[in-house]
Amino acid sequence: AQSVAQPEDQVNVAEGNPLTVKCTYSVSGNPYLFWYVQYPNRGLQFLLKYITGDNLVKGSYGFEAEFNKSQTSFHLKKPSALVSDSALYFCAVREPYGAGSYQLTFGKGTKLSVIP
Amino acid sequence: DADVTQTPRNRITKTGKRIMLECSQTKGHDRMYWYRQDPGLGLQLIYYSFDVKDINKGEISDGYSVSRQAQAKFSLSLESAIPNQTALYFCATSEGLAGATDTQYFGPGTRLTVL
């Protein structure tokens, strides 16, 4: 069965500093990986996804994520954090085929707080 | 995402009441999903539908039912609400691309409180 772990419930970073939100996964075969962001009182917004190809994926709002197969990780990064990046971030995984390919499995979420 | 709308946005109800949450989309997507979000638990899939005639249970379907009235509409019902169904409910849609590259797009959510 596929699973996702976000080891940090909360990440605090100073404005202007680089940020990293961690995600590790477990899946049979090559994974399809996604990051979503949830702002207060809003739905989830799609940020980026990794399907195949370049391990560094660029997404919305200046975010990027690095796929590392040997470490089964897909960490979300941004070179310079903004206060407006403060939100709840979710990593999700899907198997490429089989029974798990219909279902997106989410991590528990990481709350990012960017301090002015 | 304004292309996926949910009604109501907030609802307070009492134990034992029947309640329906509605989702509509203008994205033209075939696939629709219902999730619930609880603090510290992420999102859990309740039901999903690949088209009007194809409805499937997700990981936590007990106590819920769904209806896919049209390609654009997917409603979630709680036949007899109980307090532990208090949660934030999200509808999502996806195009139904071959394989697992399909990206899901979420509505704004419905906050349900069962007293």
* Token pair of A3 as six digits: 């699973």
Which of B103, B105, B110 is best to mutate for the A interface (most A CBs within 10 A)? B103
Q: Indicate the residue type of B58.
A: G
- Judged against a pLDDT cut of 80, whether residue A10 lies above it is answered with yes
The pLDDT tens digits of the residues spanning B77-87 come to 999 999 999 99
- Judged against a pLDDT cut of 80, whether residue B27 lies above it is answered with yes
- Rounded to a whole number, what is the distance in Å from the CA of B81 to chain A's nearest CA? 23
- Judged against a pLDDT cut of 90, whether residue A2 lies above it is answered with no
How large is the C-alpha radius of gyration of chain A? 14
CA distance B89 to B9: 9
Q: How would residue A52 be classed by pLDDT, with cut points 50, 70 and 90?
A: confident
- Rounded to a whole number, what is the distance in Å from the CA of B42 to chain A's nearest CA? 4
The pLDDT tens digits of the residues spanning B88-104 come to 999 999 987 665 567 88
Instruction: Mention every residue, 6+ apart, whose C-beta is less than 8 A from residue A24.
Output: A4, A5, A7, A71, A72, A73, A74
State mean pLDDT over A97-108.
76
Asked if B55 and B71 count as a contact pair (C-beta separation under 8 A), the reply is no
Q: Looking at residue A99, what is its pLDDT?
A: 59
DSSP annotation of A58:
E
- Judged against a pLDDT cut of 80, whether residue A103 lies above it is answered with no
